[in-house]
């Protein structure tokens, strides 16, 4: 049985090239009782909250803790993408869940975000290490990678062994498997000079700093380096220092049901055969090729042309949406989140119901001609106009409820929302609280409720999910913008990632 092989998956071999060219194999991922572990991770939340798969299902949202990087999660022409994001999105789709992205901010510990309940799973290309296993539980692996030294070409040479790195600082985060491996090598007596850098710098960000000469060297997984090497100049691949690290998702130690469901999903996409050779599903191979082998999408995103005036921080229509939002006095980031949800910014999009354009406006509810609604600016303005009218209708509510009701009306129509509010009153609940009304929207999918409703059957689950996903996307966009402002202030470009020709 393939599951029976799990207890040996965590055993990795490390390849160290010495100065005289000999090879020494070392074990890295042994159990915590056989490996020296004198240092612990920076964790302040020691007791994880009680939130397992059943509660996640009840809430309908799985929260993904990750970093903003091409290997995990980023925006491509306004659309949410990334290897980790797409893989976990497939899991949430199978389980009828919405996926919320929680980007780790400066001075934030992903382990604290997990155990405090702000997130449910760490999906950020994490290597399984005994140090990490002290504070989280890992799923089955879904990838295997090698660690290698990467140096700046400003050094003027290609190191062939770890011994060639004597006197050269290797910059890594303390909260990384790279630090653990370098510390092991240093304890073994090899000439390793470790330079600790800020925790909010993901591997990709550090590679940019190495490429421009800010740092002389770092460590990266081979898949991340291969992807970065396609769109960064100035990187030199150095010696391999770790082989066959297992990559997995991390969950709370008291969430066995969530771990079980994730393992069932991963089993379909990544296994080991009888000889220990990894076997991947077609879906996983497509994702690997898309993000780590072809590199075209990622190269486009970080090219100077892509970051030119025709594109914005979030979408290709940032400037246009800002202008329209200012005219209509609505939040431009929320308007952008709606456009992403409705059409993925495709001006030619047409829904099954006949809604068209970026904001998916129904021609029968617009005074604008159908052909004109395919013009981005016209469509955005019409969508914003409709949204503004809904916001005005619920202006007496607090901000969160006002937006939730306006989004629900934009998606399902004011009639269905009115039915849901009347049903909420019938059940002695608050018709001005989205949490109560969303329950009524779900009830309107049942015959005993919708047969007496003025507007009949409503696909309430779609509207509830629509509101949740847009609110989650809005929060993610705000985080990305905040990161961008911070990095721009320090002169390190979009989210700290410098661009190269």
Q: Cite the active site residues.
A: 342
Instruction: Tell me the sheet residues that pair with 143.
Output: 247
**Of 266, 260, 264, the residue nearest 52 (C-alpha):** 260
DSSP string, 18-69: -TTS-EEEEE-S--TTSS-----------S-----HHHHHHHTEEEEEE-BB
Please identify which residue in the block is written with the tokens 């700290």.
Answer: 496
Instruction: Indicate the SS3 state at residue 368.
Output: coil
Euclidean distance between CA atoms 499 and 377, whole angstroms:
30
Instruction: Indicate the SS3 state at residue 270.
Output: strand
DSSP string, 211-236: HTTSSSEEEEEHHHHHHHTTT-SSEE
Euclidean distance between CA atoms 233 and 215, whole angstroms:
14
**Of 244, 229, 240, the residue nearest 165 (C-alpha):** 240
Euclidean distance between CA atoms 438 and 60, whole angstroms:
12
186, burial (CB in 10 Å: exposed 0-12, middle 13-18, buried 19+): middle
Euclidean distance between CA atoms 350 and 353, whole angstroms:
8
H or E element at residue 79: strand 79-81
| Contact (CB, 8 A) for 269 and 60 | no
Euclidean distance between CA atoms 84 and 102, whole angstroms:
13
> Which backbone phi and psi does 362 adopt, to 5 degrees?
-80, 120
Euclidean distance between CA atoms 372 and 351, whole angstroms:
17
Residue 375 is classified by DSSP as S
Euclidean distance between CA atoms 167 and 156, whole angstroms:
15
Which residues, 6 or more positions from 153, have their beta carbon under 8 angstroms from its beta carbon?
A: 234, 235, 236
Tokens in use for 356? 């068209």
> Which backbone phi and psi does 266 adopt, to 5 degrees?
-65, -30
**Of 434, 419, 330, the residue nearest 383 (C-alpha):** 330
Euclidean distance between CA atoms 332 and 337, whole angstroms:
9
| Contact (CB, 8 A) for 239 and 190 | no
């Amino acid at each position: 049985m393939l599951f029976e092989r799990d207890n040996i998956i965590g055993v990795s071999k490390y390849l160290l090239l010495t100065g005289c060219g000999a090879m020494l194999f070392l074990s890295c991922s042994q159990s915590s009782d056989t490996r020296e572990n004198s240092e612990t991770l920076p964790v302040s939340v020691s007791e994880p909250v009680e939130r397992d798969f059943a509660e996640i299902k009840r809430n309908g949202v799985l929260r993904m803790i990750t970093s903003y990087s091409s290997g995990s999660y980023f925006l491509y022409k306004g659309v949410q993408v990334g290897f980790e994001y797409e893989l976990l999105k497939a899991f949430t789709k199978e389980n009828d869940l919405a996926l919320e992205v929680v980007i780790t901010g400066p001075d934030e510990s992903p382990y604290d975000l997990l155990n405090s309940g702000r997130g449910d799973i760490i999906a950020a290309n994490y290597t399984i290490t005994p140090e990490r296993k002290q504070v989280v539980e890992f799923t089955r692996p879904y990838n295997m990678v090698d660690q290698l030294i990467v140096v700046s070409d400003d050094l003027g040479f290609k190191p062939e062994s770890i011994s060639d790195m004597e006197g050269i600082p290797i910059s890594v985060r303390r909260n990384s498997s790279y630090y653990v491996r370098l510390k092991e090598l240093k304890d073994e007596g090899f000439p390793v000079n470790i330079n600790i850098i800020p925790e909010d710098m993901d591997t990709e960000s550090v590679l940019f700093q190495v490429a421009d000469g800010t740092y002389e060297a770092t460590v990266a997984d081979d898949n991340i380096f291969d992807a970065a090497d396609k769109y960064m100049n100035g990187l030199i691949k150095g010696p391999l220092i770790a082989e066959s690290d297992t990559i997995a998702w991390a969950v709370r130690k008291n969430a066995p049901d969530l771990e079980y469901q994730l393992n069932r999903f991963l089993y379909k996409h990544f296994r080991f055969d009888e000889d220990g050779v990894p076997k991947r599903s077609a879906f996983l191979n497509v994702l690997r090729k898309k993000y780590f082998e072809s590199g075209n999408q990622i190269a486009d995103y970080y090219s100077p042309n892509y970051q030119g005036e025709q594109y914005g921080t979030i979408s290709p229509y940032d400037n246009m949406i800002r202008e329209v939002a200012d005219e209509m006095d609505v939040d431009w980031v929320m308007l952008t989140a709606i456009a992403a949800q409705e059409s993925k910014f495709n001006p030619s999009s047409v829904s099954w119901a006949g809604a068209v354009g970026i904001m998916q406006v129904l021609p029968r509810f617009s005074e604008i001609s159908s052909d004109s609604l395919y013009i981005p600016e016209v469509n955005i303005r019409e969508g914003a106009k409709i949204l503004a009218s809904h916001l005005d209708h619920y202006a007496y509510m607090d901000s969160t409820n006002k937006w939730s009701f306006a989004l629900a009306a934009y998606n399902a129509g004011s009639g269905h929302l009115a039915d849901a509010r009347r049903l909420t009153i019938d059940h002695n609940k608050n018709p001005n609280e989205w949490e109560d009304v969303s329950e009524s929207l779900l009830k309107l999918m049942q015959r005993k409720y919708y047969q007496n409703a003025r507007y009949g059957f409503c696909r309430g689950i779609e509207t509830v999910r629509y509101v949740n996903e847009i609110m989650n996307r809005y929060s993610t966009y705000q985080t990305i913008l905040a990161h961008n402002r911070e990095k721009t202030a320090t002169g390190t470009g979009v989210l700290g990632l410098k661009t190269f020709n």
